[in-house]
Chain A
Amino acid sequence: MKFKYALPFIWFSLFVSSLGWAMNAQEIVARADEKRGPDGTFSFNVRVKDYNNKALVQENVYKVHSKDMKFTLVETIFPERLAGRKLLMAGQLWLYLPTLRRPTRVGTQQRLTGEVANGDIARAKFSVDYSAKIEKREKIKGKSYYRLILTAKDKAAAYRKVRLWVEEKEFFPLKAEFYALSGKLLKTGEYTEKETVLGNARMTGVIIKDAISPSKQSHLKYYNYRKENLDDRFFNKEALSD
């Protein structure tokens, strides 16, 4: 008899708790985004080293300007022979080549260098591009993690799905798997190197590995973060040559 009365309450509790998970998933991703980079308008450098079988294949350095998660401008500063190339994310992606002197549309999945797609650097916030759901909770090396599945909100996202592991306590991302539309695993990412950036602890390193050939890797190191005051004209494709 007692169980009969308790049943609606259990159902209600389960419903509320599942609703809570669904609501919190997006918040968890937003918190994990904060651990990957600050909010607002800022700039930073990212050094990308591409390896194949542990041999350094190439090294690139980019200067990245980001505004309110809406705009990102990635400028190549090293090597010198590629200097002046710019990648702008402002809804769509444009590539400005000094040899062409005009912006051309490019896809988010096309490679910037090594295992790094244009969207990996130009679209840095998962919470903006993806809808999140908690798949389950996992214990890894004694720590509790949320395992989330992120589904692209629109075609502007670099991947159709991302599986992301986020630490339950402090929301630091641990690793990610990036999937194509077909469901095929394209590559994996490991978040490394915790440092204090603009007053908060954040992950400043990522290792991206090809899913089929894990010996093909790109090691990204983010540094030299600065708060900036940039207006929207800085991110207008018509001003890329200026």
Chain B
Amino acid sequence: MIVSSTKKPCRIKTALVAAFVTASATGSSASRLTFDTRMELNSRLAYHLVTPHDLASHRHWLEFDQKAKWGDWSAIAGLRAFAEVAYASNSRYEMTVAKTESSEIVPNDIYVQYKSPSFVARVGNQQVVWGEAFGFYFADVVNPKDARDFGLGDMNKQRLAVPMVNLKYLHDDFALQGIYIPKPYFNRTPAMGTDFGSFYSQLFPQGKLSVADTRTVPLALSNGEYGLRASTTWRGIDLAAFYFNYFDRSPNYKFTMVNPIPGQMEARLDGFHPRIQTMGVTLSTENEPFLFRFEALGTFDRYVDAALPGSYTSQRTNELIGVLGVDYTKITNWRLGVQVSENHLTEEIVGGITPRNRPLLTFHVSGPIYQQQNLEVIFSYAPRDGSSLGQIRYLVPVSSRIEFLFGADLLLGRDSSSFGRFNAASRGYVMLKGYLMGT
């Protein structure tokens, strides 16, 4: 029996309208106020690819954005919502999962922005994206992620917008960006009992385990997160260097034995998020017919959980990451890419849940098959444990506003391997995507 008690965040933005009115009042009188509306509706039906081939997901999403622009000022207000039917209709999932994971409405981008000839200032709920790599988040450290679907799907839909102050100074090819997050938020982790939440049950198979993880910290000056990024283009090379001081987006856990009586054993994992620092450099350049992408990151004071017989601890270490990607651009309407990455922990942690070295090899191919129909294949291989992740998507546009997406996510490998442990979550799906725009 597994119980999850993840607290939901409350992020209600009330200042948007007032801020925009203030913004409008100071704008140029010659400017014209324009509005743009964007709505995206997605419906997905997914079935497990391993026995018993039952319903994995029947989900409907709505993403709505309303944008207003007035001269150098603009504002956007958006939300994301979904309703998931599978957890309630498939008996493989427990009722607790159906109660907590069947629906959600969260604010998306909600911010006010001002652009001057040299500055861009943006205040409010937003996404900030750093890095050059594809498929995985390495330098993309600023926003928390929705990890409930293992990061599969569009990356901007996994990224959760959070309130921050984002200032950019622009001069020719040079840009200097400063960000401040007054109230940090953390990753949305998979709930126990869901396809990608099976990890917890492997930690305490002897009895009942509950997990408690707050997704934010109180609003306080000492809890603020801050970062700086400088970027430029030098002799055709895009260069960027950044520093970010923040709370680890993924939780570490403190283990507590609530009831040690054999047969009634009960334990609890309490999540905590240590303050860490990441600094890194990224670059990309073209040397025909290749495009090169590179990232080097160092994360300091990261904690790694270690599970040993009779104990569960968290130990401090540093993490170094290197990523090198090469795209071949000679096939004019196809994109081919390969990416090699390595995560290395500077300390050897006995019983560490995260291995010391995590190399990953990723191939990416996408291009048209027939008319506008597009095939995309991303294949990732973890040489350390021989596991792999295959993502296949075939996009079929049926009109300017509607498209069908046929896809499969395959997680293969041994039960204890990084991808193979989620083998039961492998799924095939069909998705209907609709887009509406208005001005």
Chain A interface residues toward B at CB < 8 A: 52, 57-58, 78-81, 83, 90-92, 98-102, 104-107, 109-111, 117, 155, 231-233, 236-239, 241-242
Contacts and interface: CB of A to CB of B under 8 A. Distances in A.
B332 A233 contact: no
A106 B285 CA distance: 9
Interface stretch (B17-25, B110-118, B306-314, B413-421): B110-118
7 contacts: A83-B437, A101-B156, A102-B131, A104-B132, A231-B117, A237-B233, A239-B168
A100 B293 CA distance: 15
Contacts of A104: 132, 134, 284
Interface in B83-137: 113, 115, 117-118, 120, 122, 127, 129-132, 134
B172 A232 contact: yes
Nearest to B438: A80
A213 to B, nearest CB: 13
B372 interface: yes
A109 B329 contact: yes
A238 to B, nearest CB: 4
Contacts of B285: 105
Given A81-B400, A155-B286, A242-B113, A58 B372 contact: yes
Contact of B170 (A101, A106, A236): A236
B170 A238 contact: yes
Interface string B153-164: 011110100000
Interface of B: 38, 113, 115, 117-118, 120, 122, 127, 129-132, 134, 154-157, 159, 168, 170, 172-173, 175, 177, 231, 233, 236, 238, 284-286, 288-289, 291, 293, 329-330, 332-333, 335, 371-372, 397, 399-403, 433, 435-437
A-B CB proximity, top 8 nearest: A79-B400, A107-B329, A238-B175, A111-B333, A102-B129, A99-B154, A80-B435, A101-B156
Nearest to B399: A79
B276 to A, nearest CB: 22
B233 A101 contact: no
A80 B36 CA distance: 13
A235 to B, nearest CB: 10
A79 B129 contact: no
B291 A105 contact: yes
Nearest to B117: A231
B329 A110 contact: yes
A212 to B, nearest CB: 12
Contacts of B286: 92, 105, 107, 155
Contacts of A241: 129
Contacts of A236: 170, 173, 175
A111 B335 CA distance: 10
Contact of A111 (B113, B120, B332): B332
A236 B168 CA distance: 11
Given A52-B371, A233-B117, A101 B175 contact: no
A216 to B, nearest CB: 11
Nearest to B130: A102
Contacts of A52: 371
B436 A80 contact: yes
A60 B118 CA distance: 33
A41 to B, nearest CB: 14
A78 B400 CA distance: 7
B115 A233 contact: yes
A110 B333 CA distance: 6
A79 to B, nearest CB: 3
Given A79-B397, A105-B285, A233-B118, A238 B168 contact: yes
Contacts of B402: 81
Nearest to B74: A242
Contact of A101 (B127, B288, B289, B436): B127
